[in-house]
Amino acid sequence: MTLTADRKTIFITNPDTKEAHSLYKYGKSVEFDDDTQQDVFTPSNINISTIKDVYNAAQLQSKLNNISCQVEYGLMFAFLSSFDVDGPLTNVLSYRCCNFRLNRDTGLCSNSSCASSLADTTEQTLTFDMRVSLSDHTGTVAGTYLTNNLVQELLGCTVDEFMQLPEARKTDLKWSYLLEKCKVYFKVVPSGFNGANNTLRLLACERADPKEVYNNFKLV
């Protein structure tokens, strides 16, 4: 069956319906492996040295809540107020197939078009899949997604190496960044749905130079 549009077809942009909101929630629940997407978020594909606009947490949260926001890049100096690499593995790692998370109940790919899923077989890849909170004197931006590559860069190890670490070492890694002042580069992506928050992705994270923090300090 092929769908076609005629003169009687009505297209509604950003529909405010139960079905549309359900579809949006599903889209928000599926995280893509940024290395293979056309709109790439990884530092290797974006020249972060060109990002100059500095935001504080309150300003960034305002961007995330702005329904008319366009794609924007920026940086902020913030503390990692949550970085739970020593927490439950389900909050740090996830299995993926064709860049989609596996359904935890069925173990199958959540992409309905995936050939492996249709054949009831799934090619599993274990990746880092976690979120952090960014805080400064103006507030906190919670639930910020870290890409697999960025987590590997921060921890200095692969997923397989991380799995072999004792809990004490994971805690050491956690405190090497937790509550440390960092320079964070980010990208804000519009949600496309009225009333829905935009998406924040971190492009890079490094320990901040105290002098640079002082020179870019914003009271509000």
Same domain, 79 and 172: yes
CB-based contacts of 153: which residues, under 8 Å, 6+ apart?
none
Same domain, 156 and 190: yes
Same domain, 187 and 203: yes
Domain that holds residue 175: 30-92+129-215
Evaluate whether residue 112 is within a structural domain. yes
Rg (CA), the chain: 19
What backbone phi and psi angles, to 5 degrees, belong to 178? -60, 130
CATH code assigned at 133: 2.40.50.140
Same domain, 82 and 181: yes
Same domain, 84 and 49: yes
Same domain, 53 and 143: yes
* Per-residue confidence (pLDDT) for residue 174, from 0 to 100: 93
Same domain, 80 and 174: yes
Same domain, 148 and 201: yes
Evaluate whether residue 86 is within a structural domain. yes
Same domain, 83 and 146: yes
pLDDT tens for the chain, residues 1 to 220? 445 555 555 656 666 676 665 555 555 444 444 333 333 333 446 788 899 999 999 999 998 888 777 888 999 999 999 999 998 888 898 888 777 777 767 777 777 677 665 555 656 788 898 889 999 999 999 988 888 889 999 999 999 999 999 999 999 999 999 988 999 999 988 876 555 578 888 999 999 999 998 888 865 4
Its pTM stands at 0.70
The answer to whether 183 and 77 have CB atoms below 8 angstroms apart is: yes
Tell me how many domains the chain contains: 2
For residue 187, the cross-strand partners are 73, 201
Same domain, 106 and 202: no
d(CA 38, CA 15): 26
Evaluate whether residue 105 is within a structural domain. yes
Evaluate whether residue 7 is within a structural domain. no
Residues in the chain: 220
Evaluate whether residue 8 is within a structural domain. no
d(CA 155, CA 157): 6
Same domain, 42 and 116: no
